[in-house]
Amino acid sequence: MSIPIAILTPQGLKEAPYSANSLAEAAPFEPEGVYTIARTFNRDCVLMFDAHLDRLEESARLENIPLQLDRQALRAALRALIERSGYAESRFRITVPRAQPDQLYLSLEPFKPLPLELIQQGVRVATVPLARHNPSAKRTAWMIERKAAALPEGIYEGVLISAEGFLLEGLSSNFYAIMDGELRTAGEGVLSGIARRALLALAPNYLPVRLEPVHKSELWAIEEAFLTSASRGVVPIVMIDQQVIAEGKPGAQTMQLRQAYEAWAQAHLTPL
């Protein structure tokens, strides 16, 4: 079944000239530019929506796209699409075309929660030597470029590794490791994910935070590891490449941070 896709123009909403069954299927049809993805809670509430829009504007600035967002009109358009969709919860993408930044592409699909077994059992990730151009900007080109990372069967996410061997971020997430009682994550050269901002604000209540990436030679010393993204929250990692993490089970501190993040998110939702 086709998902709702529309273009928000200065004159209002109009139908997109294509159809798709998912956000992934719609991506190749969207113009080159910058984007953000978020999910709803309680049907029409979003976590840190203004932060999403702030980052969208910053991505446009970094890519020299002259964007002037009408936040009120954008909120109204998203509410209309949500109402039209009938979805209980939604995951949506806002795309700003480089050539026509006043024509916002809006696409919406049903939100599917992460399967409970992935949280209970953890996920396997693999390092990938893939460079991300202008990582501080959320570019539509990255949705295509990251497909070059052919992940082995059973691997949930790829983790970008720098030329120097440092683990930076996931293909569609941020990466963290707990080592020597500290939370480690790259401080630069990565996208400032919305979930990452919340997690880094919460984490000092539980353990020290060090904004420094882990080197591949240090995998053996990782006590726990996890990913974050706006759609998935905190996702525990139990294996990186061939290195087993936390005896192959989600770590206790990771699960504590996940619980704290979920509680914080519920307390900070705002209506569109």
Domains of the chain (ranges; CATH) run 5-110 (3.30.470.10), 116-269 (3.20.10.10)
- For residue 40, CA distances in Å to 59, 112, 127, 196, 265 come to 22, 11, 30, 18, 11
Q: What is the pLDDT along the chain (272 residues), one digit of tens a residue?
A: 899 999 999 999 999 999 999 999 999 999 999 999 999 999 999 999 999 999 999 999 999 999 999 999 999 999 999 999 999 999 999 999 999 999 999 999 999 999 999 999 999 999 999 878 888 899 998 888 888 788 889 999 999 999 999 999 999 999 999 999 999 999 999 988 899 999 999 999 999 999 999 999 999 999 999 999 999 999 999 999 999 999 999 999 999 999 999 999 999 999 99
Q: Which residue from 174, 171, 143 is spatially nearest to 156, judged by alpha carbons?
A: 171
Helix (H, G, I), strand (E, B) or coil at 11: coil
Other C-beta atoms within 10 Å of 211: how many? 11
Q: Which residue from 127, 135, 150 is spatially nearest to 215, judged by alpha carbons?
A: 127
pLDDT digits (tens, 9 = 90+) for 113-127: 999 999 999 999 999
pLDDT digits (tens, 9 = 90+) for 195-224: 999 999 999 999 999 999 999 999 999 999
